[in-house]
Structure 1
């Protein structure tokens, strides 16, 4: 079993659950969008369905570049906020194992307690600062406050340039995107984007995606929360934006819901060995998804999560079965 409350949820500190009625709204429209995108994926330069030739971790290209990312990254909300040295030792093992298994993208934020400081220190100790793709966020209002927070993040993470800076939960996004663009022009950050983790924010997020040139967009998506399939995922492919998915386990609700359930036998058809992989492989089967960021502080769970980025992925018929199962939980 994976961490019950760790899934890369960028808004775990604020708590959010969509109700059962809204959770599956638009699923039929999402299925049509997926099929249309899948059918045309070979004609869309921003969509990359390639699998590692050696059977290892799948990689997908960041749209508009030749740079690729492993499809499974590492979230840090809650899990990298540590009060003592014993916890720090466990996280050192997590990062080492993550890198050993082919992971590169680590996503964090200033509001995740001391996570930025912890990550920066561990990356330096493990000599991984230059090897990993480090993403963080800015969540404040006002130009000067935003720049100050970004400066602090860069100092704590010890990475110049930062790989990705994102406007967290769209807070004062117009002002902060101007700051982000300034940093990108100055070479202090390589990519910029926006994030949210609440389905209720999808309408606003869609407006930002349509109006702003972004390198990355991050939002919640899973077989229990498939709403992003209706509009956001097709729009990201159309606009050439990399998609980072948070909340793959819906803040641990997935594991609570399946506590007494056996994994379906047909999960073996797409090389799935756990409920964590069940959700992650559903996400990664969508051609517009670049990567997913489950969070964990357990090295065993890192290995389980990373396993989702290898082997076969479910086809659309199977994904429909997965959605139906999700609706029944």
Structure 2
């Protein structure tokens, strides 16, 4: 698997990241072991989790040192989202963040986090306080690199320009079905040398084409946990884009999943799509997209069918 620098940092990561949002819900410990094994054997290094992904941190922590050596995996986790009702159970205050970090280190059974990400912007806390906690964690050697997630363009730019510790990544939803980051987030990331990690790179599963006619009983769309998550991208516009992806896949002799992943993986500024699979078979299908490079004509056609409107001020007045 090819590797890329994460933003303007010295950290190199595989250009496909393994997501763990399903771990502890639809993916049990045995299946998680198989997923991590397959991912590492394929040359992957970046595993993304969060303190609110059910038992994902504990499950990953139990595998590090067994399935993979600690120094061979880049662990990325997140804080800010609410874990419990206690005074430090969520949010981006200094106390809440450092409490969250302590908990993640304990659950992961490691002495440092490679990439610690602020899961969301917190309007109730001064940004300087939030960033001071990130800097304190880095100075103490508890984290190596810092990133953000789900920030708007102005939020990302402000944090990147203000933080004492370099912000090296932003994790956002990005796919052929969700290109909103191209308005302001992607330009802000480019300006500040921040690498883009993409969650839901296959449109929450919709871009695989499996939902074109019905909802498969074994799919996320039929899961009580994820049905609303998938439904978000089931629309007439999405149907047109999915059909274009299916047509491209047929012409290339590959899968719609591979086409969708290759498209987003090679977008400007993107470092790695984050792929979350329910089982190893799904993960193997994503790993198989590693060698696919979309021909310029197909990429242009997909760009066109999924294009979003950019107006003032993203496009200057003529």
State the TM bucket, normalised to the shorter chain: 0.7 to 0.9
| In structure 2, C-alpha distance between the alignment counterparts of 1:179 and 1:272, rounded to whole Å | 50
Deviations 1:91-149 (A, max 9, x none): 11010001011111111111111111111112233243321110001112322222111
**Per-residue Cα deviation, 1:33-72 (whole angstroms, up to 9, x for no partner):** xxxxxxxxxxxxxxxxxxxxxxxx2221123344321110
Aligned pairs, number: 264
Instruction: Find 1:87's aligned residue among 28, 34, 38.
Output: 28
Check the 8 A contact 1:117/1:156 in 2, yes or no.
yes
Matched, 1:241 2:194: yes
- Give the C-alpha shift of residue 259 in structure 1: 3.0
Structure 1: 5+ residue runs without aligned partners? 1-56
Partner SS, residue 130 of structure 2: helix
Gapped regions of structure 2 (runs ≥ 5): 81-89, 214-242, 309-318
Distance 1:229 1:115 in 2: 30
**TM-score normalised by L of structure 2:** 0.74
1:202 is displaced (CA, Å) by 4.8
Question: In the alignment, which residue of structure 1 is the partner of 2:7?
Answer: 63
Query: How far did residue 296 of structure 1 move?
Result: 1.0
Given that residues 94 and 297 in structure 1 are in contact (C-alpha distance below 8 angstroms), is that contact kept between their aligned partners in structure 2? no
1:147 and 1:302, CA in 2 relative to 1: closer, same or farther beyond 3 A? Answer: same
SS at match of 1:125: coil
Normalised TM-score (structure 1):
0.71
Q: Is the 8 A contact 1:167 1:176 kept in 2?
A: no
Alignment of 1:15-26 (within 5 A): none
User: CA 1:64–1:326 in 2, change beyond 3 Å: closer, same or farther?
Assistant: closer
Kept in 2: contact 1:81–1:114 (CA 8 A)? yes
2:124 aligned with 1:178, yes or no? Answer: no
RMSD: 2.7
Considering only CA atoms, is the larger Rg found in Structure 1 or Structure 2? 2
How far apart are the structure 2 equivalents of 1:256 and 1:202? 31
Larger RCO (CA within 8 A; separation ≥ 6): 1
Report the equivalent of 2:316: none
* Cα distance in 1 for residues equivalent to 2:295 and 2:180: 18
After superposition, residues 1-329 of structure 1 pair within 5 angstroms as 57-77=1-21, 79-82=22-25, 87-139=28-80, 140-141=90-91, 142-171=93-122, 172=125, 174-196=128-150, 201-202=152-153, 204-209=155-160, 211-212=162-163, 213-255=166-208, 259-260=212-213, 264-267=246-249, 273-315=254-296, 317-326=297-306
Q: Is the 8 A contact 2:157 2:192 kept in 1?
A: no
Q: Classify the secondary structure of the residue corresponding to 1:187.
A: coil
